[in-house]
A and B are shown apart, each in its own frame.
Chain A
Amino acid sequence: MRQYLLSVHFVEGAPAPSDEEMQTMFRETGRINDEMQATGAWVFGGGLRSPDSATVVRVENGVATMSDGPFAETKEHIAGFWVIRCADLDQALAWAEKCAAACGPVEVRPFDDLSQA
């Protein structure tokens, strides 16, 4: 079995979804989570608060410094993700298709061999 990260990204400045759209997204996401758990593909998943709630911690010469805000000056941020376990990329892509239908574009990224359970 392999593990894949399915991540949903949100683009800064993109129009915010309406309440109704949010409700649909939550409902669909809940349904996907249930299905992942029922089939044994689920490892972990969740949605994230907006990037302005992030803090970056760095250690330089043994001294930790903190800075407000997310890592990089990018327009795209991870909004939520799943970690799933399945046999191959085709299965991961099939899950990603369901996730993308519910939440928008999804990046599928395999975990490194070493971190595989």
Chain B
Amino acid sequence: MDLASIYRAEYGRCVATLARLLGDINLAEEAVQDAFTTALQKWQTPPANPGAWIVTTARNRALDRLRRESTREARHAQALLLHQPDEPQEVGPVKDDQLRLIFTCCHPALAPDARTALTLRLLGGLEVPEIARAYLIQKATVAQRIVRAKKKIRDAGIPYRVPAEHELPDRLPPVLTVLYLMFNEGYSSTAGPLIRTDLCTEAIRLARELAALMPDEPEVLGLLALLLLTEARRPARLDPTGELVLLTDQDRSLWNRTLIAEGHDLVRRCLRRSRPGPYQIQAAISAVHTDGAATDWRQVLALYDQLLALAPTPVVALNRAVAVAEVHGPAVALAALEDVDLPGYHRLPATRAELLARLGRDAEARAAYDQAMALATNETERSHLQARRTELTRPRGAS
């Protein structure tokens, strides 16, 4: 593994651990970045456990740095570091530095936009430009959100600890949102390789920890089920040449049966609790997709109707239109998309292009594909759109 992949894989874990050791997120980030700089100079080949090396180095570098400084915070952090037992004493139900850090990053006293940006930066190890692309906003805006959030955590004294049992219901929804977004960025990366397995794996790992922590929260189980059922289809998502394969064209024998079984089991557990929420419904939709030899689109559409009533967002409306096309035909779906407004999101023109193509309105479809390609940031997705556009120019029936 090269240093860049190690950085990607280990950054979040290392920052989370150092934040516990130092009691300060900014110091933690500086220390971890210092350690990676040292690694760049020292490593001929990476050690067997690069994460542990980084944590130890970061801890030592932080201690050096704190000894040179004499501010109150520095003395406080130094005292914390020196008196830290090797194995952390756990006081709450969260047994994981990263989960603890997620709850801090998703504190309700922070602005919602800032929570996601901060979590992706600190736990996902995403750089500011990557987050900006993921949210279709300016780099400067993202950077500012992160700086402000970290400043508020420090200045206002947002604690770096596990929320108490009774606080969890309030603290949970923002955490779920962030894990969902982290997985999404991994599954449909804004740049570079289409699929960032590390982010997907990390989001699933954290979702599993949450589910173990809160086994009676159906939305936690719903989120985990959704992530597992989506992850299960990943092996079939790209063809051997690296081109994107649409759900309906995927080779179902490549799907991960173990993850599907686990996801279906979770969906059934959710149904028994009959307290539906957006994640559970999306999980149920994924369950329908992965059930049997073909998708029962009527059932999918019924679930999307339910989802749209619960979460009337343009993205849900867009996804629902795909199901509408399968049940009622592309013309009805196209009409359903008329009022959907998602500026800057390539999937809206891409979906319109598919529908127009199916209606034989080739010129309009080509224009919509062009629009989608101009907006798509991922090379694999752009190449997929180009291929679909090229198919249009061939006479129908030819292969």
Residues of A within 8 A of B (CB): 2, 87-90, 92-93, 108, 110, 113
Contacts and interface: CB of A to CB of B under 8 A. Distances in A.
A93 B157 CA distance: 11
A92 B72 contact: no
Contacts, number: 23
21 contacts: A2-B157, A87-B157, A87-B159, A88-B157, A88-B158, A88-B159, A89-B107, A89-B109, A89-B156, A89-B157, A89-B158, A89-B159, A90-B158, A90-B159, A90-B163, A93-B109, A108-B156, A110-B155, A110-B156, A110-B157, A113-B72
A14 to B, nearest CB: 25
Q: DSSP majority for the B interface?
A: loop
Nearest to B153: A89
Interface of B: 72, 107, 109, 155-159, 163, 167
A110 B153 CA distance: 11
A90 B155 CA distance: 13
Contacts of B157: 2, 87-89, 92, 110
B5 to A, nearest CB: 36
Contacts of B109: 89, 93
A108 to B, nearest CB: 8
Nearest to B158: A89
Contacts of A93: 109
Pick from B72, B156, B159, B163 the residue with the most CB of A within 10 Å: B156
Contacts of B72: 113
A84 B163 CA distance: 21
Nearest to A93: B109
Contacts of A88: 157-159
A78 to B, nearest CB: 19
B161 to A, nearest CB: 8
Nearest to A94: B167
A92 B72 CA distance: 22
B281 to A, nearest CB: 32
A87 B72 CA distance: 16
Nearest to B72: A113
Given A90-B163, A90-B167, A92-B157, 6 more contacts: A2-B157, A88-B158, A89-B158, A89-B159, A90-B158, A93-B109
A92 B155 CA distance: 13
Contacts of A2: 157
